[in-house]
Chains A and B, each alone.
Chain A
Amino acid sequence: MSNNKYWQSLEQFEETPEFKEQANKEFIEELPVFDYVDDATKVESTGRRDFLKMMGISFSAAAIVSSCKIPVNKAVPYVFNLDQSSRIPELMPGVADYFASSYAEGGDFMSVLVKTRENRPIKIEGNTAAPLSKGGTTGRAQASVLGLYDITRLTQPKKKGDSITWEQADTEIANKLASIATSGGKIVVLTNTNYSLATKKALEVFKAKYPTTEVVTYDPISLYAIRKANQTTLGSAIIPTYLFDKAQVIAGFNCDFLGAWVNTTENARRYITNRVPSKENPNMSRHYQFQSNVTITGSKADYKYAIKPSQEKAVLIALYNKLAGTTLASVNIGELQAGVDKLAAELLANKGASIVVSGTNNVDIQLLTNAINGLLGNYGSTIDTTAALNLKQGNDEALKALSDDTSVKAILLVGANPVYDSAFSEKFKNIISKAELSVSFADRVDESAELVQYITPDSHYLESWDVLEPKKGFIAFVQPTINPLFDTRQAAVSLIEFAGDTTTAHDLAQSVGLPFTTNFPTLLGNTAWESALQAGFVASLNEVATGAANVSATIAAINTTLPTSKGLELVVFESIPLGDGKYSNNPYLLEMPDPITRVSWDNYIALPYTFAINNGIQAMSQASTVKTAKVTVNGKEIILPVVISYGQAQDTIAIALGFGRSEGVGQAAFGAGENAYPLIKFDNGTISYAVDGVTYETLNETRKIGLSQRYHTLQEDSNLPGRPRRYRSNIVKEANLTDYRKSDSAGNEDRASIKEHLTTLYKSYDSLGHHWSMAVDLNACIGCGACVISCNVENNIPVIGRKEMSNTRSMHWMRIDRYYSGDPDNPDVAFQPLMCQHCDNAPCENVCPVNATSHSSEGLNQMAYNRCIGTKYCANNCPFKVRKFNWYDYQGGDAFGAWNDHTDATYMLNDLTRMVLNPDVTVRSRGVMEKCTFCVQRIQSAKLTAKSDGRKLKDGEIQTACQTACPTGAITFGDRNDKNSEIHHIFYDSGRNYHLYEEQHFLPNVGYQVKIRNTDEKPNFTFIGALEEKA
């Protein structure tokens, strides 16, 4: 080693004072931070624009220096080994950290892992170790990471539209609260269901300080009737856990328990456990669904019946009569009686192994289902009352009482937005405007926050500490994964600050006092706290159901008077993409097609088939331009585009909630659909989401909607004279369980002969090494679309907006096709997730003139974006149309940036939102083709890890984004050359596996498993009625 000292300049050699001074500086030139900020800002409070400018500078400076520290020094990454002496790992650029956290929203809870890269949260994954969701997620959870980088979020507290400091807000609000409390004025804290122990604690502190405080909880989509009915049946107002995996017969009544009810992620996981037959265990539960509007749950059912909302009670009474052998009330349900008789017989045969649930927010109906479940002995076997859910705690009666209360002096909206999402919008407007103090904790100027005096913005959950108790016996943690981007503060902390306490959020979480101290004696110790935080939860759950029902009291409480229906009935329902609308400014969610109607960016008037035809709507119009209609309920009008929902009950109209937001909610949500909350009504102690006495009128206007699937069936539409219409049954293969029990390859019989005839003129190559393949189980897929959003976030897929969606230019790398078959008035539904099939004999590859798409030796069909010149030839030649073209510059990845205003989707074009982009995946520019890569970045990363560990890749080590998101495990990915892999087992041992258009010899690497329905009848494929209407 040489001791020569090299010098770079004469100044250095001479060690001049200027050089020394320069050498000690981090940057040779001063960072030009203040050049971008006007003079006033330097001294005074920062304006929003300047704030963003500062942010931009700080972030780029941070990136240059690369000396970032973990944002909150006490957060513990999931993958970090606690045994190491240093608790805080240094940030490794290019290596992702995962933090366990929790996502709670509406009726759903999920334990999640937050993937951060260079300290930016960029992806939500399910936490497979957590007992409730077991890795399952929803689309909304997947998209929530984009919400963090929403430019519409408030950046600091506001007083009547002007920015103020937190000190000012705290002082002024605390002073006002104090004066109201001393004068005995009523203070109301209005929240949505909140099972945060931190908030609970904060509210206790708050109440102690201001004793005149009343806390009212409501849910935009309420299940209050369940709790109320259980007060009678079980003695306490709880929502039990339904063990769908233990049920052999499941009957749902207007209950979308897989998509939009309560605890849907856990329900879906449990439900599907018993719905996927295999060679070893060729059994599945049987599912009956009685529904008014078409739901994904109903679409998974074996037998489904369309009922009007007003018929539900009668049907349940008829079922009860049949089961009990007595007559609770005499009812006439006409044609439905046959279905009820069949259901009753099977329920009786499966006593203690069945579940009857209803999603209707009506106490009598809930009491009826309770009575039936009690009669069948389901409590304690398939219904667990011990593991009571803390989700959906809203009290409709309390909300109603509050809305009529004229004595409210102060109202604090903690996560609540009653002006938008309650049945009492006008009344709350009044209360807010009349109150001496009104505060909203909203993160944006939503419909209620528009009217309040102070907005003290809440932080995003990815910036917050929290302890949640979604279910008795289960505690979950929320930990921050990034410092708050803006000057926001967690609601619980704000409440405590208003009460004059100064606890920080973190200490608050630790001081909550976990209710498990007896079971987890070490929890109070610091190590235990950190390991619990690292895991994301602590649980003491028992898989054995307990509980008993008081059937006689339940029956006695039922009011058997049947509702008399007046004319048309309206159902407003929770939208699968948007939920109750709380996160509706999320462009990923707005662009996610509804699983049933495949419409995005708008809600619409869903009409049943025959009714629509009679009202001059074309059945299979196949165009994205549709007629609009006017629906009038109790003097309230709503005008929306009309969409046919095949299978919806006759004389009902359905409209989704969550749309029609105000301008302050954000660029994406504003202008998307209309708000249907004003149409709901308070009726007999609960909020009713079904309303009768509706008038409908088709208007002479048309509107373009984002329809991403225009043709709805596998039945061909036009035919040569004399040639029968064919059904493409080779796309979604189906069989019934009886046939499946006879043969493992039921419904898939043609595959043997196809394989026999598969020949090629060309030399075939042995596939050595890995051969990546994917299997999709059509039985397990519930069509929820979590995979689609997960794919969007993982792969930087652009959002394109309504106009482009209506032009069928969806950029989604994977989509879930939905096909109808059978009677157009009550069709069978099949979901088929479709992504690039990675054909080994890919038609796209040989037509590209510049070799931009090629096949890897591991079976991947690869895209070289830089090489693509955009001839679109590959997309044309793709039999599955999974290749997506960048028609415009959607993400600012282009040299023509100045011109990208031509698309109406500019949501991804600002620097803040672009922070969500996954640095492992190229952002594609305008004019190039893109498509599913099988998450090649994950494959590469896992291969590198295995290589540096000096071992072979393990099966299951690589999980694609769609696979990790799936709540039901419908997607399997792996190396089919690995004889011990699951995918090998599915591809070579399962009779259910098939590939799309196998006879065409595309050799896809994606396999589908035949859909098995537990019906006595064979699948019916025709869809003639609706097609004939077209002509």
Chain B
Amino acid sequence: MSHFESPLREPLITGSKTYKQITDDIVRGTEGSLGITWLLSTGVAGLVALFGVFCLTWTILYGIGTWGVNTTVGWAWDITNFVWWVGIGHAGTLISAILLLFRQKWRTGVNRAAEAMTIFAVVCAGLFVMLHTGRPWDVFYILPYPNTRGPLWTNFNSPLLWDVFAISTYLTVSLLFWYTGLVPDFATIRDRSKAGSIRWKIYNILSFGWVGSAKHWERFESLALILAGLATPLVLSVHTIVSFDFATSVIPGWHTTILPPYFVAGAIFSGFAMVLTLMIVARKVMNLQDYITIAHIESMNKILLLTGTMVGTAYLTELFVAWYSGSMIEQYAFANRAFGPYLWAYWIMMSCNLIFPQFFWVKKLRRNIAFTFFASIIVNIGMWFERFVIIVLSLHRDYLPSSWTDYQPTWVEVGIYVGTGGIFMTLFLLFSRFFPVVAIAEVKSILSISGNQARREQMDEVKSDEAYQDVDARLIYKID
């Protein structure tokens, strides 16, 4: 892993850590008593999750009639939430796969948590795929398995079917990727615990008998690369396919070719925002500031700025294309978004996703934790509204004015959404307590080149060099 890195780069691990300290810092979170804060927050999250389960049960018992959807607006919060959760799940693969291939070292600090978040988000998204149907008990019809129903087979023309394949593939690959990375770290935890104790046994099973031999590491590295290669197209394909649900339809506002790139950018946008929200809390609560540094946050903010601007460009392009197409219904669909009965939703979307990220042009704000936290939440609100705008605002005004309606959610729909938040948080809290939140092995791998002590040494080496005479060393060391 060693290569030359400019000493000017900000260190990715601060606090002059040793390898032992890294292990201690990260594994500490999984050891000791559970702690009142964790118990309380998990309890609250669990209750919210239970309420979600209650609302889901209510839906199954009474029917989708308990939701606010109607004949004209057949999808609303259900698919909005589905797309939103899938979008959130995008940061994980991007960080673990694409950033790995692009050798972005800063990913090591956040990839573990981002991957976990991906999996939990996809689980929540999957719930909506199953339960937005009228007969969830028959949902297995969607799988093309050999059956006794003669010529009845799934419809391979349907984007919804592609969705099922895309999401399940994504979940599988993400899970593998995540778990593979966890194996050496589980072994670390195992090795720190009392041999033969229950804890030891559990982590022994989880680590698949990892001993850290060179052969293990070689295979580990190869597998990581292969999975990264496999996962990379998924980053693009999953949300592309989700966007096909809309793009291949005939509803004005859905039927646009710009949707795939726009959805992928939006997914990365919201995924990073969610990683930021979680990591800003986690680094503080779990004392991981040395591993998830301001540099990490700034990098992610740069991605927010980039993808936010891409999404915003897509919004404006849609408006332009609607005007340029000359299509009456297309023009109306966008006029209705911006100036119709739900214009507030459109302008929330516009301001949260296009306008707000522009603040990140300012370096000070990029490095401001409070502002970043606020922005990350704003972005996720904006991205939720983006999906709401696309789904509800396109459906409620389509071809025949006679079928135009409005839509209002019921407590059941809101409950399910809030409940998936609870499920997500419960899973994440369990993860943060029992799994190493930062990839120990990977962080260690960059300590010698990106740790702040390494930077100091590199700086000392080059200090005599004339070319670096003017460098303000304070910039480099101030983080210490």
| Given A623-B406, A867-B152, A869-B133: A808 touches B70 (CB 8 Å cut-off) | yes
Q: B-facing mask of A839-874, CB < 8 A → 1, else 0?
A: 000010011111100000000000000011111110
Interchain CB contact (< 8 A) of B404 among A622, A849, A925 = A622
**A193 contacts partner chain B, Cβ-Cβ < 8 Å:** no
Instruction: Tell whether, in the assembled complex, residue B64 and residue A887 are in contact, meaning their CB atoms are under 8 Å apart.
Output: yes
**A321 contacts partner chain B, Cβ-Cβ < 8 Å:** no
Which B residue sits closest to A876, measured CB to CB? B74
Residues of A near B142 (CB, < 8 A) are 849-850, 869
Residues of A near B340 (CB, < 8 A) are 717-718
Interchain CB contact (< 8 A) of B335 among A718, A810, A886 = A718
Which A residue sits closest to B149, measured CB to CB? A867
| Given A718-B340, A817-B400, A872-B69: A847 touches B159 (CB 8 Å cut-off) | yes
Q: How far is the CA of A966 from the CA of B442 in the complex (A)?
A: 76
Q: A-facing mask of B62-73, CB < 8 A → 1, else 0?
A: 111110111110
* B253 to A: closest C-beta gap in Å: 12
| Given A809-B71, A847-B249, A902-B62: A879 touches B135 (CB 8 Å cut-off) | no
Instruction: Tell whether, in the assembled complex, residue A902 and residue B338 are in contact, meaning their CB atoms are under 8 Å apart.
Output: no
**A899 contacts partner chain B, Cβ-Cβ < 8 Å:** yes
* A718 to B: closest C-beta gap in Å: 4
Instruction: Tell whether, in the assembled complex, residue A869 and residue B141 are in contact, meaning their CB atoms are under 8 Å apart.
Output: yes
Dominant secondary structure at the A interface: loop
Residues 619-665 of A at the B interface (beta carbon under 8 Å): 622-623
Instruction: Tell whether, in the assembled complex, residue A622 and residue B402 are in contact, meaning their CB atoms are under 8 Å apart.
Output: no
**B42 contacts partner chain A, Cβ-Cβ < 8 Å:** no
**B445 contacts partner chain A, Cβ-Cβ < 8 Å:** no
Which B residue sits closest to A623, measured CB to CB? B406
**A744 contacts partner chain B, Cβ-Cβ < 8 Å:** no
**A938 contacts partner chain B, Cβ-Cβ < 8 Å:** no
Q: Which of B106-114, B326-334, B431-439 lines the interface with chain A? A: B326-334
| Given A804-B65, A843-B249, A868-B135: A726 touches B328 (CB 8 Å cut-off) | yes
Residues 955-976 of A at the B interface (beta carbon under 8 Å): none
**B154 contacts partner chain A, Cβ-Cβ < 8 Å:** yes
Residues of A near B338 (CB, < 8 A) are 720
| Given A716-B332, A718-B335, A867-B152: A876 touches B249 (CB 8 Å cut-off) | yes
* A997 to B: closest C-beta gap in Å: 6
Residues 291-323 of A at the B interface (beta carbon under 8 Å): none
Instruction: Tell whether, in the assembled complex, residue A850 and residue B155 are in contact, meaning their CB atoms are under 8 Å apart.
Output: yes
* B397 to A: closest C-beta gap in Å: 8
Residues of B near A996 (CB, < 8 A) are 399-400
Instruction: Tell whether, in the assembled complex, residue A879 and residue B335 are in contact, meaning their CB atoms are under 8 Å apart.
Output: no
**A764 contacts partner chain B, Cβ-Cβ < 8 Å:** no
Instruction: Tell whether, in the assembled complex, residue B139 and residue A869 are in contact, meaning their CB atoms are under 8 Å apart.
Output: yes
Instruction: Tell whether, in the assembled complex, residue B134 and residue A877 are in contact, meaning their CB atoms are under 8 Å apart.
Output: no
Q: How far is the CA of A712 from the CA of B133 in the complex (A)?
A: 31
**A888 contacts partner chain B, Cβ-Cβ < 8 Å:** yes
Instruction: Tell whether, in the assembled complex, residue A709 and residue B402 are in contact, meaning their CB atoms are under 8 Å apart.
Output: yes
**A926 contacts partner chain B, Cβ-Cβ < 8 Å:** yes
Residues of B near A871 (CB, < 8 A) are 132-134, 160
Q: How far is the CA of A1000 from the CA of B133 in the complex (A)?
A: 28
Instruction: Tell whether, in the assembled complex, residue A720 and residue B406 are in contact, meaning their CB atoms are under 8 Å apart.
Output: no
Instruction: Tell whether, in the assembled complex, residue A847 and residue B72 are in contact, meaning their CB atoms are under 8 Å apart.
Output: no
* A859 to B: closest C-beta gap in Å: 19
Q: How far is the CA of A1002 from the CA of B132 in the complex (A)?
A: 27
**B164 contacts partner chain A, Cβ-Cβ < 8 Å:** yes
Residues of B near A926 (CB, < 8 A) are 63, 134-135
Residues of A near B139 (CB, < 8 A) are 869
Residues 885-903 of A at the B interface (beta carbon under 8 Å): 885-889, 896, 899, 902-903
* A622 to B: closest C-beta gap in Å: 6
| Given A623-B406, A726-B328, A847-B248: A875 touches B63 (CB 8 Å cut-off) | no
* B170 to A: closest C-beta gap in Å: 17
* A748 to B: closest C-beta gap in Å: 18
Residues of B near A486 (CB, < 8 A) are none
Interchain CB contact (< 8 A) of A809 among B70, B135, B154, B158 = B70
**B250 contacts partner chain A, Cβ-Cβ < 8 Å:** yes
Interchain CB contact (< 8 A) of B399 among A869, A879, A896, A928 = A879
Residues of A near B245 (CB, < 8 A) are 873
Residues 992-1030 of A at the B interface (beta carbon under 8 Å): 996-997, 1000, 1002
Instruction: Tell whether, in the assembled complex, residue B134 and residue A846 are in contact, meaning their CB atoms are under 8 Å apart.
Output: no
Q: How far is the CA of A804 from the CA of B404 in the complex (A)?
A: 16
Instruction: Tell whether, in the assembled complex, residue A927 and residue B251 are in contact, meaning their CB atoms are under 8 Å apart.
Output: no
**A880 contacts partner chain B, Cβ-Cβ < 8 Å:** yes
Which A residue sits closest to B334, measured CB to CB? A720
Instruction: Tell whether, in the assembled complex, residue B328 and residue A728 are in contact, meaning their CB atoms are under 8 Å apart.
Output: yes
Q: How far is the CA of A634 from the CA of B141 in the complex (A)?
A: 65
Q: How far is the CA of A869 from the CA of B341 in the complex (A)?
A: 32
Report how many residues on chain A are interfacial, defined by Cβ distance under 8 Å. 70
Which B residue sits closest to A901, measured CB to CB? B62
Residues of B near A711 (CB, < 8 A) are 401-402, 404
Q: How far is the CA of A53 from the CA of B62 in the complex (A)?
A: 28
**B386 contacts partner chain A, Cβ-Cβ < 8 Å:** no
Instruction: Tell whether, in the assembled complex, residue B71 and residue A903 are in contact, meaning their CB atoms are under 8 Å apart.
Output: no
Q: How far is the CA of A710 from the CA of B159 in the complex (A)?
A: 31
Residues of A near B66 (CB, < 8 A) are 902
Residues 398-445 of B at the A interface (beta carbon under 8 Å): 398-406
* B347 to A: closest C-beta gap in Å: 13
Q: How far is the CA of A926 from the CA of B60 in the complex (A)?
A: 10
**A713 contacts partner chain B, Cβ-Cβ < 8 Å:** yes
**A342 contacts partner chain B, Cβ-Cβ < 8 Å:** no
**A954 contacts partner chain B, Cβ-Cβ < 8 Å:** no
| Given A622-B406, A807-B70, A997-B399: A888 touches B63 (CB 8 Å cut-off) | yes
Residues of A near B72 (CB, < 8 A) are 808, 881
* A93 to B: closest C-beta gap in Å: 28
**B345 contacts partner chain A, Cβ-Cβ < 8 Å:** no
**B339 contacts partner chain A, Cβ-Cβ < 8 Å:** yes
Which B residue sits closest to A997, measured CB to CB? B399
Q: How far is the CA of A322 from the CA of B248 in the complex (A)?
A: 64
Instruction: Tell whether, in the assembled complex, residue B69 and residue A877 are in contact, meaning their CB atoms are under 8 Å apart.
Output: no
* B276 to A: closest C-beta gap in Å: 33
**B157 contacts partner chain A, Cβ-Cβ < 8 Å:** yes
**A723 contacts partner chain B, Cβ-Cβ < 8 Å:** yes
Which B residue sits closest to A884, measured CB to CB? B71
**B336 contacts partner chain A, Cβ-Cβ < 8 Å:** yes
Among A808, A819, A849, chain B packs the most CB atoms within 10 A around the CB of: A849
**A719 contacts partner chain B, Cβ-Cβ < 8 Å:** yes
Q: How far is the CA of A728 from the CA of B152 in the complex (A)?
A: 40
Among B71, B142, B157, B341, chain A packs the most CB atoms within 10 A around the CB of: B71
Instruction: Tell whether, in the assembled complex, residue B332 and residue A881 are in contact, meaning their CB atoms are under 8 Å apart.
Output: no
| Given A720-B335, A880-B403, A1000-B250: A872 touches B141 (CB 8 Å cut-off) | no
Q: How far is the CA of A710 from the CA of B64 in the complex (A)?
A: 22
Q: How far is the CA of A716 from the CA of B405 in the complex (A)?
A: 13
Instruction: Tell whether, in the assembled complex, residue B71 and residue A927 are in contact, meaning their CB atoms are under 8 Å apart.
Output: no
Q: How far is the CA of A997 from the CA of B69 in the complex (A)?
A: 25
Instruction: Tell whether, in the assembled complex, residue B154 and residue A851 are in contact, meaning their CB atoms are under 8 Å apart.
Output: yes
Instruction: Tell whether, in the assembled complex, residue B339 and residue A877 are in contact, meaning their CB atoms are under 8 Å apart.
Output: no
**B214 contacts partner chain A, Cβ-Cβ < 8 Å:** no
Provide 23 A-B residue pairs closer than 8 Å at the C-beta atoms, listed in order of the A residue: A711-B402, A716-B335, A718-B332, A807-B70, A810-B71, A817-B400, A818-B402, A832-B402, A843-B250, A846-B158, A847-B159, A849-B154, A851-B154, A867-B141, A869-B142, A872-B69, A872-B134, A879-B400, A880-B400, A886-B63, A888-B62, A903-B65, A926-B63
Supply 11 further A-B pairs (C-beta < 8 A) apart from A832-B402, A850-B141, A872-B132.
A711-B402, A714-B401, A720-B338, A847-B248, A848-B160, A869-B134, A896-B62, A926-B134, A927-B63, A927-B135, A1002-B250
Residues of A within 8 A of B (CB): 622-623, 709-721, 723, 726, 728, 731, 804, 807-810, 815, 817-819, 832, 834, 843, 846-851, 867-873, 875-877, 879-881, 883-889, 896, 899, 902-903, 925-929, 996-997, 1000, 1002
Residues of B within 8 A of A (CB): 61-66, 68-72, 74-75, 132-136, 138-139, 141-142, 152-155, 157-161, 164, 245, 248-251, 323, 328, 331-332, 334-336, 338-341, 343, 395, 398-406
